Amino acid sequence: MERTSRALVAGAGASAGLAGAVATMARRRNGPTQPEHRTLGITVSGPAEQVHKVWASLGASTPIEVAPAPGDRGVEVRVQVPADRGRLGVTDMVDRVRGETPEQQAREHLRLLRSTVETGDVVTTEGQPSGRGPVAAKVTAAVSRRLRNWGVL
């Protein structure tokens, strides 16, 4: 009985998710016109001259807008990228997975810009331990095993 109710709840949740996705796709295709560009922005603690130099050194082709940030907290950097039109082609999906869409590239450039201006280097987690020790691995395996037995996984 309990397993049947769980299956019904899971099925209802999946149906609702699918219906929401279909409605979103229909809105994107038939809805009001979307803007041509989307603006992404961050606040960087550094002078505008240095921001422009670092942006040029990153090789980003998109121009940026730099304005003083409120409260004398550095500068605001804004970049405009083409708006996502809800394209569903195979090449568009591959670009998203690879991180090659214009928005993903602009976000990465903004992250590199902030890191370079504020710390003088690109901050990464490369070479650091993952934090998953033997205890965490055993707990994850036990939880996964139990969920499989319940029919959730």
pLDDT tens column, 85-132: 666 677 767 777 777 778 888 898 999 999 999 988 887 777 766 666
User: Do 118 and 45 touch, CB atoms closer than 8 A?
Assistant: yes
Mean pLDDT of 129-146: 78
Structure tokens at 69: 């940030």
Stated pTM of the model: 0.57
Distances (CA, A) of 108 to 31, 58, 62, 86, 120: 30, 10, 13, 21, 16
Return the minimum-mean-pLDDT range out of 19-23, 48-52, 129-133: 19-23
Burial classification of residue 151, based on how many CB atoms lie within 10 Å of its CB (0-12 exposed, 13-18 middle, 19 or more buried): exposed
Longest CA–CA span in the chain (Å) reads 68
Q: Which CATH class is domain 34-127?
A: alpha beta
CA distance 46 to 118: 7
**pLDDT for residue 24:** 64
Q: Which residue has the higher pLDDT, 66 or 150?
A: 66
